[in-house]
Amino acid sequence: MNKNDLSQAIALGADIPLGKGEQILEALMAIIQRQLVSNDSVQLAGFGTFIAKERSARVGRNPKTGQAIEIAASKTIRFIPSKVFKDQINASIS
């Protein structure tokens, strides 16, 4: 499913025009991005939590040459699914 498919699913699920579904998805993504940039988490009950985590600088290896390289500190986004969501996913395996 891509962004267009998701906005259409939102519109159909909420029984609103397709353009409104796209606006809602755009607004949701902007809010999540804004919160994560300001180091706040986004918790969605029954779904999960988005958090921005800091990665410290470290030494890595170039896989081709084996040479040590410095990897700069950075931030990454982590999604932690809720227990309800995890249970739903694991139920589909059985």
DSSP H stretches of helix in 1-94: 3-14, 18-37, 83-91
C-alpha dist (Å) from residue 90 to 45, 47, 79, 83, 93: 18, 14, 17, 10, 5
pLDDT (tens digit per residue) in 3-24: 999 999 999 999 999 999 999 9
Confidence band for 42, pLDDT divided at 50, 70 and 90 = very high
Number of domains in the chain: 1
Q: Does residue 5 form part of some domain?
A: yes
Please report the pLDDT score of residue 8 as a whole number: 96
Q: Does residue 82 form part of some domain?
A: no
Q: Does residue 80 form part of some domain?
A: no
pTM for the complete prediction? Answer: 0.78
Q: Does residue 7 form part of some domain?
A: yes
Please report the pLDDT score of residue 93 as a whole number: 79
Q: Does residue 8 form part of some domain?
A: yes
In this structure, how many other beta carbons lie within 10 angstroms of the beta carbon of residue 76?
9
Q: Does residue 66 form part of some domain?
A: no
Flag whether pLDDT at 72 surpasses 80. yes
Please report the pLDDT score of residue 92 as a whole number: 76
Tokens, residue 16: 């609103």
Domain limits for position 2 = 1-40
Q: Does residue 54 form part of some domain?
A: no
Please report the pLDDT score of residue 73 as a whole number: 95
Please report the pLDDT score of residue 94 as a whole number: 61
pLDDT (tens digit per residue) in 49-67: 999 999 999 999 999 999 9
Q: Does residue 36 form part of some domain?
A: yes
